[in-house]
Amino acid sequence: MYDFTVIGAGVTGAGVARALSRYKADVCLIEKADDVSNGASKANSGIVHGGYAAKNGTLKGRLNVLGNRMFEDLNNNLNFGYRKTGGLVLAFDEEERLLLEGLLANGKKNGVKDLEIIKRDRILKLEPNLNPDVKYALYSKDVGVTSPYEYAIALAENAVTNGVDLFLEHEVYDIIKMDNSFELITDKSIIKAHTVINAAGVYSDAVSKMAGVNYFNIIPRKGQYILFQKGTGAAVKSVIFQVPTKNGKGILVTSTYHGNLMLGPNSEEVENREDTGTEEMTLEYIINTALKSLPDFDLKKKLKTFSGIRSTPNTGDFIIKEEFPGFINAAGIESPGLTSSPAVAEMIVNIIKKRINLEKKNSFNPNREPIIKPNSFDVAEIKRRIDLAPCDDRIVCRCEGVTEGEIRDALTRNIDISTKKAVKMRTRAGMGFCQGKFCGPRVDELIERIKII
Ligand SMILES: Cc1cc2nc3c(=O)[nH]c(=O)nc-3n(C[C@H](O)[C@H](O)[C@H](O)COP(=O)(O)OP(=O)(O)OC[C@H]3O[C@@H](n4cnc5c(N)ncnc54)[C@H](O)[C@@H]3O)c2cc1C
């Protein structure tokens, strides 16, 4: 019998599991996929938002600002990749300037610091490649970029280090309420717990209904992206937004944490919660809209397109509450859910503390070593290392300079993975120009060798 069971291993669930692993309690994390970070947490903009956009008075507004302030320390502990870049919301006329004034006022109410409206000369000094027609921008110094799936993986690894049991490939399909506990019926086993935390993302309404709580629905909203080759992200230093529309923050131009230019996302309601395809017409719209911010980028350097599904709740705000003793929803966590996630985890621990006495354990280890080690291999060094006999220094992925040692590290950590996709998310092998054509077979061979031993 677990004290706490968390359903869903995205940034919300993995964050809650890690936060609970600080205490003397038996905790498990249940995920239906064969790896953590399988939902929205693996396909989003990766922006650590400043907190000026989420409406004052909402949970989103409060938790965004709190979460933003926690990222630097978290990254120092967990080494997932985070960089404070600053962000600019561009305005091209007086009407748009009024929208910036609204964001500025909202941000100040939310407690965002370092927020100001700046004019064309300063904007172009900060970002010389932007459209020279820009007139004003809301400048938020607290905006940053992170590697979202590496963040979710780091949270989950550290939770496991601190005693959390992770059950992958366990889909919860029913929740039975007992006297003082719950039975979670999964496709593999029955898991018993005193308290259940629902962090099932786009399926959080379905999981909530399993426990008899059905006052909200999730509206899946797709966002599509175009990602460019490594190095192209140098075109901008900060995250470049346009003024928000009724569908959200609009099309942004950013560098990913790893230096790829990225454009997107749009926002469209979809019926199928697994619909992560991309469509030519939408991609064209994204390119044309992004050109207004950044008039010159090389489409020939396009690497791939992808999309993610937002868990938009019909209530308009995050749903974070104990619905009845022992059943806690962390549902409808759409954007800025990545940014808010550390604060969401803290909020859930505080909800639990109102009912249960949680005692801190001395053995909690907040730290996790990185998998990707920074390197500066030049072409000659990569060529030399590609031909080495199998050893940790051998280069396996020549586009991203990934070594055999990094892949061995990923495959032998405390989350049991054995797919190329899982290795790719942890090491970047296969994320480069050739998209895994060169390294794919080598990674397969390593998986076989390392996992069989
Ligand atoms: C296009 C897009 C752009 C975004 N950009 C940003 C951004 O820049 N900044 C920001 O702060 N936020 C952003 N967000 C929001 C952010 O990505 C999400 O809020 C966050 O990732 C939600 O995490 P989660 O853990 O709640 O959900 P998820 O990551 O979706 O995780 C839920 C998990 O639950 C599992 N699951 C579901 N049902 C079951 C079941 N029955 N049994 C077991 N497991 C189950 C799923 O497999 C999944 O792994 C964006 C989202 C999208 C889609």
Q: How far is the CA of 310 from the centre of ligand 1 (A)?
A: 7
| Residues 175, 176, 177, 182, Cα dihedral to 10° | -70
pLDDT for the residue 250: 86
**Residue 338 Cβ < 6 Å to ligand 1:** yes
| SS3 category, 428 | coil
Torsions phi, psi of 82, nearest 5?
Answer: -150, 140
| SS3 category, 394 | coil
State the closest ligand 1 atom to the C-alpha of 170, by its place in the atom list counted from 1. 43
Q: How confident is the model at residue 304 (pLDDT cuts 50, 70, 90)?
A: very high
pLDDT for the residue 227: 98
pLDDT, one tens digit per residue, over 373-405 is: 888 888 888 989 998 988 999 999 999 999 999
Q: How confident is the model at residue 453 (pLDDT cuts 50, 70, 90)?
A: low
First to last CA, the chain: 33
Strand 2-7 relative to strand 82-84, pairing: unpaired
Paired tokens of 403: 């070594």
Q: Which residues are catalytic?
A: 49
Q: How confident is the model at residue 247 (pLDDT cuts 50, 70, 90)?
A: low
| SS3 category, 262 | strand
Q: How far is the CA of 247 from the centre of ligand 1 (A)?
A: 18
| SS3 category, 407 | helix
Closest C-alpha to 206, from 83, 299, 329, 322: 329
Sequence-distant (≥ 6) Cβ neighbours of residue 400 within 8 angstroms: 230, 427, 428, 429, 431, 432
Q: How far is the CA of 43 from the centre of ligand 1 (A)?
A: 8
CB 298 within 8 A of CB 129: no
The residue whose CB lies within 8 Å of the most ligand 1 atoms, and thus the one to mutate among 145, 222, 333, is 333
Question: What does the DSSP assignment read for 42-53?
Answer: GSS--EE--SSS
CB 275 within 8 A of CB 224: no
Q: What is the pLDDT of the chain when averaged over all its residues?
A: 96
Paired tokens of 141: 């110094």
Sequence-distant (≥ 6) Cβ neighbours of residue 171 within 8 angstroms: 32, 186, 187
Q: Given 3-state DSSP classes, what are the helix, strand and coil percentages for the chain, each rounded to the nearest 5?
A: 35, 25, 40
322-329: average pLDDT: 98
pLDDT, one tens digit per residue, over 181-214 is: 999 999 999 999 999 999 999 999 999 999 999 9
pLDDT for the residue 179: 93
Q: How confident is the model at residue 310 (pLDDT cuts 50, 70, 90)?
A: very high
CB 186 within 8 A of CB 175: no
**Residue 9 Cβ < 6 Å to ligand 1:** yes
pLDDT > 90: percent of the chain: 94
Q: What is the pTM of this model?
A: 0.97
How many Å apart are CA 327 and CA 264, to the nearest integer?
36
**Residue 220 Cβ < 6 Å to ligand 1:** no
How many Å apart are CA 315 and CA 218, to the nearest integer?
9
Q: How confident is the model at residue 327 (pLDDT cuts 50, 70, 90)?
A: very high
